[in-house]
A and B are shown apart, each in its own frame.
Chain A
């Protein structure tokens, strides 16, 4: 008699999907696995994740992947069309566009990470504090947010860069300073929906401090929509950074920042289209990747979808 193999043999999959986890780690991993299963069902979101993963990989291994040095000039072969020697052509100084794009991923990633690590965090703190305490705290913080929201984003960023001096770090600061208000709004709205919930009352009745309630009970419920919003906003951040670069206020030459590369290709755009089109294409693909990823994350994280 053969051994029955159709038993609900658990293995690691069963360990992850069990109804009775035996440890904190198992419960957490099980939850993550359930999220991944939902995410995986959305093909486009997986494509977005692959694009973003590729961006990270290219940034990490840029020196190995790039065929030329990004600053290496070859004035003999300037403005060459895409071909065997230079797959994406060369720019006005004969620099290899592909190599510059590859090194440019590092700048793009740096901008994305720095903005994602500051603006949503500031918005989260301001929004949850305003929403939880209400009253004059709410009034003061939200009027500040209103004022910040009333400025046109790019113009305010321009003003900041003009005051601080051009450069990629200042561009990041300018973007972060101008992009926190929507996050504060979202975090406050989420806070208002849960602030009167019984589980918050229960936490208060256990003697939990306001700090503990905001950090441990309210923020985890706001984080999901903020992550989704941040991912969707990343495309805009990349475009704003590119816009600042294009206007000459972001990354300075010879840095291979994609927006600055488009700007330098502008004067040849009719005859040597690849100089501006290739970095434009790179911005397009990466922005699309973040948008698709954000859509997929919304399916997984948004508590309203439960």
Chain B
């Protein structure tokens, strides 16, 4: 199978001169079409920065990014956004507070002159499990889970092949998290989506992904399959530490932690 996303030696540096921080320091990875790929790491490991560089939100990077067989520059052509969409972490911040659900979903259709807006909005709302009753509501009339469904619908309305997910469940209640994960799994199967999921939550990765990469301090530490994650057969000491950390707080474990640079 060919690579849907191919990243070679990606570097992102924030700041200049002595203050420069390498947020992403030479990351190379490849995601196959139809695959669900997890990018895991603690806060500040650079995982979200990789995602923002791929999506086109961050244009200060060097290296090589290929999406759907086309090499991408720092400025993306309009057609790119029909291929690749993103869902943000905080559903309270990712929906315009003065736009109705209808307007939020109609906008991408209008931008890309796709036509047939009514039917498309209706379909995508059903797709994400929200009925037409939600169509003319404002975000403040929706719960967190419903908002995240609207955000997913907005990403799907352009019928993309790649969906980038930036911690899509970490701002939600535990029970709602499961609903959203189930929704994402179903949508992936129905639409043949390629998913790239950024998270610090290994349970979410185990639930949704086929393969994952662990990041620490801007570098890719290890790539593994979810099977290996379940069997806890990580090669790198940092990954083993991350796995122990994800099993809950334990004083002895916490004291054994060390910094891996």
Is the CB of B124 closer than 8 A to any CB of chain A?
no
**Which A residues are CB-close (under 8 A) to B154?**
202, 206
With A and B bound together, what is the CA distance between A111 and B137 in angstroms? 39
**Which A residues are CB-close (under 8 A) to B49?**
none
Q: List 15 A-B contacts (CB under 8 A).
A: A19-B141, A21-B137, A26-B136, A197-B93, A198-B93, A199-B93, A199-B96, A201-B94, A202-B88, A203-B107, A205-B55, A206-B107, A207-B78, A207-B80, A221-B97
Residues of A at under 8 Å CB distance from B? Answer: 19-24, 26-27, 31, 197-199, 201-208, 212, 216-217, 220-221, 303, 306
Q: Mark B38-63, 1 if CB is under 8 A from A, else 0.
A: 00000000000000000111000000
Say yes or no: A207-B136 contact (C-beta < 8 A), given A201-B88, A202-B86.
Answer: no
- Complex partner residue of B136 from A24, A199, A306, CB under 8 angstroms: A24
CB distance from B137 to the nearest CB of A (A): 7
**Which A residues are CB-close (under 8 A) to B212?**
none
Say yes or no: A206-B98 contact (C-beta < 8 A), given A20-B137, A201-B88, A306-B140.
Answer: no
With A and B bound together, what is the CA distance between A231 and B86 in angstroms? 40
With A and B bound together, what is the CA distance between A173 and B156 in angstroms? 49
- Complex partner residue of B97 from A24, A201, A303, CB under 8 angstroms: A303
Is the CB of B85 closer than 8 A to any CB of chain A?
yes
With A and B bound together, what is the CA distance between A199 and B97 in angstroms? 9
Is the CB of B158 closer than 8 A to any CB of chain A?
yes
CB distance from A219 to the nearest CB of B (A): 10
Q: Which residue of A lies closest to B134 (CB)?
A: A20
**Which B residues are CB-close (under 8 A) to A217?**
96, 99
**Which A residues are CB-close (under 8 A) to B112?**
206-207
**Which B residues are CB-close (under 8 A) to A197?**
93
Say yes or no: A198-B94 contact (C-beta < 8 A), given A24-B102, A207-B81.
Answer: yes
**Which B residues are CB-close (under 8 A) to A202?**
86, 88, 94, 151, 154
Q: How large is the interface on B (under 10, 10 to 19, 20 to 34, 35 or more residues)?
A: 35 or more
Q: Which residue of A lies closest to B133 (CB)?
A: A20
**Total number of residue pairs linking A and B with CB closer than 8 Å:** 76
CB distance from B107 to the nearest CB of A (A): 6
With A and B bound together, what is the CA distance between A207 and B55 in angstroms? 11
CB distance from B182 to the nearest CB of A (A): 23
B95 touches A199 (CB 8 A): yes
**Which A residues are CB-close (under 8 A) to B81?**
205-207
A23 touches B136 (CB 8 A): yes
Q: Which residue of B lies closest to A220 (CB)?
A: B98
A207 touches B111 (CB 8 A): yes
The residue among A23, A212, A216, A306 with the most chain B CB atoms within 10 A of its own CB is A216
CB distance from A288 to the nearest CB of B (A): 31
Say yes or no: A206-B93 contact (C-beta < 8 A), given A19-B137, A21-B136, A24-B102.
Answer: no
With A and B bound together, what is the CA distance between A23 and B107 in angstroms? 17
The residue among A198, A216, A306 with the most chain B CB atoms within 10 A of its own CB is A198
**Which B residues are CB-close (under 8 A) to A23?**
136
- Residues 72-113 (chain B) with a chain A CB within 8 angstroms: 78, 80-82, 85-86, 88-90, 93-100, 102, 107-108, 111-112
With A and B bound together, what is the CA distance between A22 and B135 in angstroms? 8
Say yes or no: A198-B88 contact (C-beta < 8 A), given A24-B136, A31-B138, A206-B158.
Answer: yes
